[in-house]
Amino acid sequence: MPSLWRPTAQIVESGAYRANVEDDTPLQDSGSDTGPARRPPKWLVSAEARGGAGCPGPGVYAGTVRIDIVTIFPEFFGVLDVSLLGKARQSGLIDVAVHDLRDFTHDRHRTVDDTPYGGGPGMVMRPEPWGEALDAVLASERMPGAGTLASAAMPAPSHERMPGAGDPVVVFPSPAGTPFTQATAAELAQEQHLVFACGRYEGIDQRVVEYAATRGRVREISLGDYVLNGGEVAAMAMVEAITRLVPGMIGNPDSLDEESHEGGLLEYPSYTKPAEWRGLEVPPVLLSGNHAAIAAWRRDQQLERTRRVRPDLLPE
Ligand code: JF5
């Protein structure tokens, strides 16, 4: 690839890497014990979102949201390419990288799980690969005040810092977490760096969550009261809900529109042309041109629908 076209950061053969500007060296060797190097799918890297040729690296543009996803199934996240990255890349506002947890193992079988202490069914994800993966994705974190005169002073080592506003948010999708809502999505859409740690098996060694809390602001978040095979599908849903709310996103619905979903009512039913289709008619009020009547009808529909299917959303 001609250097002019080289992205400022790229995913390397080991699966996923976001290198800093000018640095495409993997932070960790995936090891030669894993057979021939695999070519990363093109969606693993979002060069456009990182600024493209000749542009500064991620985090340079105000408003860029960085999202790292750590998983043993990086291929799962190919669908993000279709659902959001196309738009997000064009806007340059969202920078997503997917990382294979197994790239942070050192044994020939790339082991990520083991039997639970204390006994019981299933397997638990071992802490070591998670520690290395989290260190890697958090390594290029820009310190508060970076690039200013104040940054000349040595920052405190991260293990002595208490994570606070501006530090990365580490999300552990888990049925044991707090419920994910539109309000959660709106909050997370304001962050600069989100890390999704997708667990599998019976879960991740709890010390990983403890450790992550020393490096970032940890959120254990549930998509709903059901059990999935892993955090991937939950993470994907969260990423989609969050990214569509990122300020400046192309096609970003305006905030007034969004507000009707936040602690509000369900949507009213929508119709478009033709006015009659297979014997089914559009409610005449919508064709009346009477804007007050239309607004009243829509409100009424919202209330009726909410009472019927989601009474829990209504006060008392
Ligand atoms: C998971 C360890 C995560 O099942 C879920 C989930 C449900 N709602 N939100 C997340 O995550 C799967 C399994 C094991 C961590």
- For residue 181 the two structure tokens come to 């809502």
The CB of 234 under 6 Å from ligand 1? The reply is: yes
pLDDT tens digits, 93-121: 899 999 999 999 999 999 999 999 999 99
Q: What is the pLDDT of residue 255?
A: 55
Which residue in the block uniquely carries the two structure tokens 């707090």? 178
- Count of CB atoms situated within 10 Å of the CB of 175: 15
**Distance (Å) from CA 198 to ligand 1 centroid:** 8
Domains of the chain and CATH, by start: 4-243 (3.40.1280.10), 259-313 (1.10.1270.20)
- What mean pLDDT do residues 278-301 have? 98
- pLDDT tier for residue 316 given thresholds of 50, 70 and 90: confident
Residue ID of nearest Cα to ligand 1 atom 12: 230
What's the 231 CA to ligand 1 centre distance in angstroms? 5
Collapse the DSSP code of 94 into the 3-class scheme (helix H, G, I; strand E, B; otherwise coil) and give the result. Answer: strand
**The tokens of 205 are what?**
């060694």
Q: CA–CA distance from 268 to each of 76, 305, 310 (Å)?
A: 33, 8, 13
Is pLDDT above 80 for 246?
Answer: yes
> Residues near 12 by Cβ (< 8 Å), separated by ≥ 6?
19, 24, 25, 26, 40
Each residue's pLDDT tens digit, 268-289: 999 999 999 999 999 999 999 9
For residue 220, the CA-to-ligand 1 centroid distance in Å is: 10
Q: Is 123 close to ligand 1, i.e. is its CB under 6 Å away?
A: no
Distance 306 CA to ligand 1 centre (A): 28
Q: Mean pLDDT over residues 50-63, rounded? A: 38
Strands 280-281 and 276-277: antiparallel
